[in-house]
Amino acid sequence: MDYIIYTLPNEPCPVSFLEMFGNDQPVEVEIGCGKGRFLLEQARAHQDRNYVGIEWANKYFRFAADRMARWGLANVRIIRTDAKLFITRYAPPDSLAALHIHHPDPWPKKRHHKRRLIDPAFVEAVGRVLQDGAACSIQTDSADYFEVIEKLFADRAEFQSSVRVIQSGQTGDGLVPTNYQVKYQRDGRTFYRLVFIRVPRSSQPSALGS
C-alpha cells in the first residue's frame, strides 16, 4: 500500500515523476479520480504508461487507495490534494502525456461558480504542463459548465479542439466508464465530451514571433 500513496511536500515545488515511479514512462493524470475505476482499468491496460489520480475527498481517496493496493499495479499512484493546486504549483512544465477530467463538480448555483475547478488560471496551467500533442479530455453532464469549459479552451492558442460530442446514454468512446458515468447513464443523462490537444510549442504564433 505504501508506494501507492504519494505525499506532496507542504511547500509547492515541481514533483519528479521519475522519482515517483522509478521510471520515465509517459505520465497521465486523472483529476477527481473518485473510487479509481477509470484510472485502474487504464493502468492495467497500458502498463507502459504511468497513472496518477488526484482526489481531495478523504472518503474517495481511501477507497481508491485500498482498491489500487489490491490490484497490485506498479504504474499507478494517488495523491490527496486540491487538483487546482497540483496542476498550477506541483506538476512540472511539459510533463504530462494526458490529462483526464470526468464529471468535475459543476457547482450549478451562480454564487458557487468560483469554486469550479476549470477556470482561466487552471486552463492556462494545463497548457503549461501538457506535453506537445498531449490531450486534455473532459466529460461533464452539465450543459452550462460544458459551454464555459469549451470557451475557456477556445480562447487560448495553446489548444486545438479534437473531439466535441454531445450524446445521451452510452458515450461509445471506447474508454472505460467512470463510476459517475455508469450512474448517470442509468438516469438517461446527456454527456458532453471535449478533447483538446496541446499545440506543439514550436508552431504556436508567439513562438514564431508573429
Ligand X SMILES: C[S@@+](CC[C@H](N)C(=O)[O-])C[C@H]1O[C@@H](n2cnc3c(N)ncnc32)[C@H](O)[C@@H]1O
CB of 83 to ligand X, least distance (A): 3
98: cell is 494526458
Contact yes or no for 159/149 (Cβ under 8 A): no
Find the catalytic residue in 82, 94, 105, 144: 105
Q: Which residue has the cell 501507492?
A: 4
3-state secondary structure at position 167: strand
> What is the rounded distance in angstroms from the CA atom of residue 159 to the CA atom of residue 153?
6
CB of 144 to ligand X, least distance (A): 15
Considering the complex, state which of residue 136 and residue 199 has its C-beta at the smaller distance from ligand X.
Answer: 136
Q: Residue 25 contacts by C-beta under 8 Å, 6 or more apart in sequence?
A: 48, 49, 50, 75
CB of 105 to ligand X, least distance (A): 5
For residue 46, how many other CB atoms are within 10 A of its CB? 14
Positions that interact with ligand X (CB under 6 A): 32, 34, 54-57, 60, 82-84, 102-103, 105, 117, 178-181
CB of 98 to ligand X, least distance (A): 15
Does the annotation count 105 as an active-site position?
A: yes
Q: What is the greatest pairwise CA distance in the chain?
A: 53
Considering the complex, state which of residue 32 and residue 127 has its C-beta at the smaller distance from ligand X.
Answer: 32
Catalytic residue annotation: 105
